[in-house]
């Protein structure tokens, strides 16, 4: 046989492979093609066997209908192009193999020439499978004699592609580690379908080989409950709420769900509520998510296979994330935890994202599901010294403190600062460009802030635990997060008292009093302000004293003690003017105006509001400016000056919209609607009230929402 001819008796698959390989410029592959012809053509009259290697799937597989439909679409034989291949990627224990086998077993009849399966052991402690060895096994499955299998990996791959070139074979490559491990196992034609599973995202396969990706997430809550019900049986049907809580404690992770289901099923007299209580009470939940006679079937084990393959710096970042107690974390906060730059932190987080040890929940924000968070915390406690843990916690809390201070500077300009402006470190937070950015940051970090305040107090960082709530006060007010404000301010007061710091306690009482005010708990608000006033006077702090006097004036007005209210506001104004604090002076004038209005002293009220507006604008206090404009418009409407009221409400609304003051906007819109109705503008009135109602819904003010709807009905505008 000459080098450039293929015998007519050779199988067509071999001819195709040889002829195409002659022109691709790859000497090794050409040689593989020649070897292929030389060694196998003599068996042309024989038919290759049909291997059936797929393991059976899980009999209790639940739903995942959307993912199965996606696989059907991506691996459909109707799709044109090259290799049909999909990678199912996701975190450890999420059910990638179960999904792959469910789909593969349901479609294997469409692959007349067989199916191949291999566990590539990508994260096995003994190391991943060698693609060359896998190719050897696949070729033997087609009855290629061992002595005819080429020794070199490229030649083996060429023979493998030749064998599959015109055959319809389904190939499942389970637990792949890298694109390099998978690439030699991809067939060269579109007659076969390849389904890959991996904890890694295998981006290289997508970029170079056109492999599609299906990201498998944690089960939705209802599907997790359904799986538990299928696995446990009748007991789950009778303890519905407990089953739902059991699913939550398992973070909706399929492996964990199966383990606890077996735990419940193997002890027939144990109620599900008892298993729930065990998981809640355990100091280490992962200890209970294991199988006694199979150390590999445990949540901790499958997590460890991913963790043990991480580079040291990335592994350290994962451990540090175990110390973060909030629901998600920014790259900047993670940098503080790990004591590195934001750029380095982002690279390490992206590496963790690449192997599904963290999720990316939005731009520059990351999240660990509950069980991964438990595992990361366990590693931090195991591998980090107590000093290292404490230092990381303080760095993160300090980062939050300074970032919140930057935000407060824009949300509440002119307020006394309680945090130094300078912070040394590669992770020091940058100031915000504008008020909108500050508001967005506060919104994104709200739940983290609450968690940080709790945590700071719990581990004894009381200097941070009293300051951080104070810096979120304005945001909590603007967005009307009353419960968050009360909780954090209460912790702040307690921490200040632990420190025995009257300055800190007075500030914290002012914050708690404000939270009690918007909760309409005037008795508690008055008590907070009176205690704060006494502490400020003890400290000889006039700036603090005038703030407490102003707040007392507000509170006394709301409980109907108008004369006392005026006296406190006047006393606060006198000190503010003496020390040159235009911010508090403006607030005191606003308070006097509100009290005069309550006394029906309209001219005095208007004068106070107008004087206050001048000071608000001088110090750039837009939040209080919007309030005062609304109060001034209320007075105009009260005395029948509706056209002036409409204009003033509209100016107020513009200020409040510019700063994102949702509650302020709603109050202004209610007044604007009344002024428009008085002016005969029914359509405009209805539009204003409906907008107010919608905002009350957003900020969860049910009583005020109902009041807005009642106003619309009474006016015949519902």
Phi, psi of 171 (to 5 degrees): -120, 125
Q: What beta strand segments (E) does 206-252 contain? A: 212-215
Q: Are strands 84-89 and 193-198 parallel, antiparallel or unpaired?
A: parallel
- The whole-number pLDDT of residue 422 equals 65
- The whole-number pLDDT of residue 40 equals 54
DSSP letter at 647 equals H
pLDDT tens digit string along 594-620?
999 999 999 999 999 999 999 999 999
- The whole-number pLDDT of residue 44 equals 47
- The whole-number pLDDT of residue 417 equals 81
Position 35 pLDDT exceeds 80 = no
Position 308 pLDDT exceeds 70 = yes
Weakest-pLDDT range from 387-401, 424-438, 615-629, 679-693:
424-438
Per-residue b/e over 605-632, b at no fewer than 16 CB within 10 Å? bbebbebbbebbeebebbbbbbbbbbbb
- The whole-number pLDDT of residue 39 equals 52
| Mean pLDDT, residues 236-244 taken together | 92
Cβ atoms of residues 544 and 536 within 8 Å: yes
List of residues 6+ apart from 292 with CB closer than 8 A: none
Between 418 and 713, whose confidence is greater?
713
| Mean pLDDT, residues 588-597 taken together | 96
pLDDT tens digit string along 366-423?
999 989 999 999 999 999 999 999 999 999 999 999 999 999 999 888 778 888 766 7
Tell me the pLDDT band of 18, cut-offs 50, 70 and 90.
Answer: very low
- The whole-number pLDDT of residue 98 equals 92
**What's the Rg (C-alpha) of the chain?**
34
From 3.40.50.2300, 2.30.30.230, 3.40.50.300, 1.10.2020.10, which CATH number describes the 1-203 domain?
Answer: 3.40.50.300
| Mean pLDDT, residues 64-70 taken together | 92
Give the mean pLDDT of the chain.
89
How many of the other CB atoms lie within 10 Å of CB of 206? 15
Dist CA 528 CA 519 (whole Å): 14
Cβ atoms of residues 135 and 144 within 8 Å: no
Position 19 pLDDT exceeds 50 = no
- The whole-number pLDDT of residue 423 equals 75
- Domain boundaries defined on the chain: 1-203, 221-304, 310-384, 621-718
Between 255 and 14, whose confidence is greater?
255
Cβ atoms of residues 518 and 530 within 8 Å: no
| DSSP string computed for 667-706 | HHHHHHHHHHHHTT-HHHHHHHHHHHHHHHHHTT-HHHHH
Position 472 pLDDT exceeds 60 = yes
Domain spanning 621-718: which superfamily? Tetratricopeptide repeat domain (1.25.40.10)
- Give me the helix-helix angle, 662-678 and 642-659, nearest 10°: 160
Per-residue b/e over 208-223, b at no fewer than 16 CB within 10 Å? ebebbbbebebbeeeb
Position 22 pLDDT exceeds 80 = no
Tell me the pLDDT band of 335, cut-offs 50, 70 and 90.
Answer: very high
Tell me the pLDDT band of 46, cut-offs 50, 70 and 90.
Answer: low
Tell me the pLDDT band of 234, cut-offs 50, 70 and 90.
Answer: confident
- The whole-number pLDDT of residue 613 equals 97
Query: For a pLDDT cut of 90, what percent of the chain falls above it?
Result: 71
- The whole-number pLDDT of residue 586 equals 95
Position 78 pLDDT exceeds 80 = no
pLDDT tens digit string along 619-661?
998 989 999 999 999 999 999 999 999 999 999 999 999 988 9
CA dihedral 78, 80, 84, 88 (to 10 degrees): -80
Q: Are strands 329-330 and 84-89 parallel, antiparallel or unpaired?
A: unpaired
Tell me the pLDDT band of 690, cut-offs 50, 70 and 90.
Answer: very high
- The whole-number pLDDT of residue 2 equals 35
From 3.20.20.70, 1.10.10.10, 2.30.180.10, 3.90.1150.10, which CATH number describes the 310-384 domain?
Answer: 1.10.10.10
User: Using alpha carbons only, what angle is made at residue 667 by residues 665 and 672, rounded to the nearest 5 degrees?
Assistant: 90
């Amino acid at each position: 046989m000459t080098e450039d001819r293929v015998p007519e008796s050779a199988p067509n698959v071999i001819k195709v492979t040889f002829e195409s390989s002659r022109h691709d410029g790859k000497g090794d592959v050409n040689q593989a093609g020649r070897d292929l012809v030389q060694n196998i053509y003599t068996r042309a009259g024989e038919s290759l066997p049909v291997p059936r290697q797929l393991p059976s799937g899980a009999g209790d597989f639940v739903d995942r209908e959307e993912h199965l439909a996606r696989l059907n679409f991506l691996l459909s034989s109707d799709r044109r192009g090259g290799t049909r291949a999909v990678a199912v990627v996701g975190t450890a224990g999420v059910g990638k193999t179960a999904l792959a086998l469910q789909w593969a077993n349901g479609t294997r009849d469409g692959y007349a020439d067989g199916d191949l399966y291999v566990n590539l052991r990508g994260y096995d402690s003994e190391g991943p499978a060698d693609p060359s060895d896998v190719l050897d096994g696949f070729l033997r499955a087609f009855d290629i004699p061992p002595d005819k299998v080429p020794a070199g990996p490229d030649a083996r791959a060429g023979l493998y592609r030749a064998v599959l070139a015109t055959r319809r074979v389904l190939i499942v490559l389970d637990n792949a580690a890298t694109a390099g491990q998978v690439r030699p196992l991809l067939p060269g034609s579109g007659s076969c379908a390849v389904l890959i599973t991996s904890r890694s995202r295998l981006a290289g396969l997508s970029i170079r080989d056109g492999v599609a990706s299906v990201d498998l997430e944690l089960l939705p809550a209802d599907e997790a409950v359904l799986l538990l019900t299928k696995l446990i049986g009748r007991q789950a049907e009778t303890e519905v709420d407990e089953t739902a809580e059991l699913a939550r404690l398992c973070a909706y992770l399929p492996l964990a769900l199966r383990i606890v289901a077996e735990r419940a099923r193997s002890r027939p007299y144990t109620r599900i509520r008892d298993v729930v209580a065990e998981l809640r009470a355990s100091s280490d939940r992962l200890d209970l998510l294991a199988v006694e006679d199979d150390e590999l079937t445990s949540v901790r084990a499958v997590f460890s296979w991913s963790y043990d393959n991480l580079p040291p710096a990335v592994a350290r970042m994962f451990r540090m994330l175990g110390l973060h107690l909030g629901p998600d974390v920014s790259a900047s906060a993670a940098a503080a935890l790990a004591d590195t730059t934001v750029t380095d932190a982002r690279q390490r987080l992206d590496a963790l994202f690449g192997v599904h040890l963290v999720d990316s929940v939005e731009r520059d924000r990351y999240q660990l599901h509950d069980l991964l968070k438990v595992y990361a915390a366990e590693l931090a406690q195991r591998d980090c010294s107590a000093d290292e843990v404490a230092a990381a916690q303080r760095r993160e809390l300090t980062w939050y403190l300074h970032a919140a201070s930057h935000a407060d500077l824009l949300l509440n300009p002119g307020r006394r600062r309680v945090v130094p402006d300078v912070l040394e470190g590669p992770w020091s937070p940058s100031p915000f460009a504008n008020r909108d950015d500050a508001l967005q940051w506060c919104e994104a970090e709200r739940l983290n802030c609450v968690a940080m305040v709790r945590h700071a107090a719990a581990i004894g960082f009381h200097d941070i635990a009293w300051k951080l709530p104070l810096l979120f006060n304005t945001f909590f007010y603007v967005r009307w997060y009353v419960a968050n404000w009360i909780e954090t301010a209460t912790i702040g007061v307690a921490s200040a008292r632990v420190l025995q710091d009257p300055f800190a306690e007075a500030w914290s009482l002012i914050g708690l009093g404000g939270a009690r005010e918007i909760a309409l708990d005037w008795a508690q608000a008055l008590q907070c302000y009176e205690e704060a006033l006494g502490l400020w006077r003890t400290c000889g702090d006039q700036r603090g004293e005038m703030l407490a006097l102003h707040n007392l004036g507000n509170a006394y007005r709301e409980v109907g003690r108008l004369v006392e209210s005026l006296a406190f506001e006047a006393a606060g104004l006198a000190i503010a003017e003496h020390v040159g604090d235009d911010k508090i002076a403006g607030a005191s004038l606003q308070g006097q105006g509100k009290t005069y209005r309550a006394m029906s002293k309209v001219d005095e009220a208007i004068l106070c509001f107008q004087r206050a507006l001048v000071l608000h604008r001088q110090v750039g206090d837009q939040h209080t400016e919007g309030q005062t404009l609304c109060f001034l418009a209320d007075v105009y409407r009260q005395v029948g000056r509706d056209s002036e009221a409409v204009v003033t409400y509209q100016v107020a609304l513009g200020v409040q919209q510019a700063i994102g003051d949702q509650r302020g906007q709603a109050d202004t819109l209610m007044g604007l609607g009344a002024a428009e109705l008085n002016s005969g503008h029914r359509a405009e009135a209805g539009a204003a009230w409906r907008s107010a109602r919608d905002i009350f819904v957003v900020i969860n003010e049910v009583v005020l929402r109902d009041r807005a709807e009642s106003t619309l009905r009474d006016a015949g505008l519902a």
